[in-house]
């Protein structure tokens, strides 16, 4: 092979490698233009609880969604034990309904007092200490996860000794 033919073959090979490499990188991006995730979401639920409502038909719900995989979003919550479950975010001065919560790749979504939480309304049965209610958490990618959530004392905090139930 002459020097010129060798250079043309090498150049064609380099161009082909670049095109294939670019196509492979682009194929890894999602169809909606999102960057590649760290695989499928691998979700688990920790520390779910409902503080015993002081009265009325409304209560808050708290839990942590841990994610050992790719990013996801909590997009809906429902319960066969209540007529309505909505997602909210609170700060020092206000509370607002939210239509979704991000669940970061390799991270966690924490629903806790004073921040993101669930509002549960229209109970089929008034909650009592020690009861468990089902919450169905629906995620954009991982689907629905049913969680049994215990009713704890109003002063309960995850990680503390729980002598109230």
pLDDT in tens, 78-94: 999 999 999 999 988 88
pLDDT in tens, 18-65: 444 444 444 444 444 444 455 899 999 999 999 998 877 799 999 999
Which token pair is 145? 């996860």
Contact 127, 59 (CB under 8 A): yes
pLDDT in tens, 99-151: 999 999 999 999 999 999 999 999 988 899 999 999 999 999 999 999 999 99
Query: What phi and psi values does residue 5 have, to the nearest 5 degrees?
Result: -65, -40
Query: How many other CB atoms sit within 10 Å of the CB of residue 152?
Result: 21
Query: How many other CB atoms sit within 10 Å of the CB of residue 124?
Result: 10
Q: Identify the three-state secondary structure at position 146.
A: strand
Contact 62, 49 (CB under 8 A): yes
pTM for this one? 0.73
Which token pair is 152? 């704890």
Looking at residue 17, its pLDDT comes to: 42
Contact 74, 138 (CB under 8 A): yes
Tell me whether strands 72-78 and 82-90 are parallel, antiparallel or unpaired: unpaired
Q: Which residue carries 């109003």 as its tokens? A: 154
**Average pLDDT of the residues in 144-160:** 92
């Amino acid at each position: 092979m002459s020097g010129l033919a060798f250079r043309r073959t090498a150049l064609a090979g380099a161009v082909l490698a670049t095109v294939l490499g670019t196509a492979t990188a682009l194929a890894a991006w999602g169809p909606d233009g999102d960057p590649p995730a760290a695989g499928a979401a691998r979700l688990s639920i920790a520390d779910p609880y409902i503080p015993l409502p002081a009265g009325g038909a409304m209560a808050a719900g708290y839990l942590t969604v841990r994610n050992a995989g790719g990013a996801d979003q909590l997009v809906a919550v429902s319960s066969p034990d209540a007529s309505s479950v909505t997602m909210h975010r609170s700060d020092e001065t206000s509370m607002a309904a939210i239509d979704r919560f991000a669940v970061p790749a390799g991270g966690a979504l924490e629903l806790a007092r004073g921040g993101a939480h669930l509002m549960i309304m229209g109970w089929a049965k008034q909650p009592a200490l020690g009861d468990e209610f089902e919450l169905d958490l629906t995620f954009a990618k991982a689907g629905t996860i049913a969680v049994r959530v215990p009713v704890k004392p109003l002063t309960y905090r995850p990680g503390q000794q729980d002598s109230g139930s």
